[in-house]
Amino acid sequence: MNDLLYAKVEGAGKPLLILHGFLGMSDNWKTLGAKYAENGFEAHLLDLRNHGRSFHSNVFNYKVMADDVLAYCKANNLDKVDIIGHSMGGKVAMNLAVMYPELVNKLIVADIAPKYYTPHHQDVMQALNAVDFSTNPSRNEVQETIEKHVSEPGVVQFLMKNVYRITPQQLGFRFNLNAFNNDEEAIGMALNDTDVFNGSTLFLRGSNSNYIAESDVDLIKKHFPKAVIKAISNSGHWLHADNPSEFFEKSIDFLK
């Protein structure tokens, strides 16, 4: 398959790949991407497979997603890239680093550990599966359906960013919901026991998030011996959105 990931590219300089989280897309990183671009980086904001404007596939696991990023780098002659990956994108970035260490210069993982996570997006998945596009709902009707299952306005807005016009008459989701329904476990998968990346690595965690626990530190150091772990204050799992200025400061200090 020669499908290439869709990306928005900003700036010129050192290549920096930014990988979004589950049900996200490159747009989520537009503001921060522009800041990295202003600071000497060529920022590549990728849409991962089954997300955003990238291709859909029923094959959905971290190995193929890492291979997608490798293929993107080869097609664009990118080498020794810096990477920022958030949540699912952080898992893709970790897999890329352990599979192809020669490709990765510095690695930043945002609010995810290399461990297994049980499926925990049930309310969101129920909401998305409750939307019936065959009845030609309006945007407002789609939002009302989602709101029956998801109470946080920020999450509702995040999901609604994925609703677009497939045709002038018909709305749909940008992501590939079928692939996610078929393999809910894939998102939570851990790194293999023997996986190691010896390069410079920074883990950033949300101070109010429970995705990286104190008990995960040993596992992080096992897979990433040079890892430094820092907290972003006043932030949850969406640390880059909750506190973008501190996220930018801590990440740029590490990357420079």
- pLDDT score of 184: 81
Task: Look at strands 171-173 and 163-165 and give their pairing.
Answer: antiparallel
Quickly name the fold that domain 7-116+189-255 has. Rossmann fold (3.40.50)
Distance CA(131)–CA(139), nearest Å, equals: 11
Catalytic residue among 223, 237, 240, 251: 237
- pLDDT score of 183: 84
Least Cα distance to 51 among 94, 87, 11, 80 occurs for 87
Catalytic residue among 20, 44, 54, 87: 87
One-letter identity of residue 161: K
What lies within 8 Å, CB to CB, of 235 at 6+ separation is 206, 207, 208, 209, 242, 243, 246, 247
Residue 87 known to be catalytic: yes
- pLDDT score of 2: 58
- pLDDT score of 237: 95
Strand partners, 164: 172
Residue 51 known to be catalytic: no
pTM for the model stands at 0.95
Could you report the average pLDDT of every consecutive run of 10 residues in the chain (256 residues)?
88 98 96 98 99 96 98 98 98 99 99 94 94 96 97 93 94 96 90 97 98 97 98 97 98 97
**Domain-by-domain residue ranges, the chain?**
7-116+189-255, 122-182
Q: Please count the residues of the chain.
A: 256
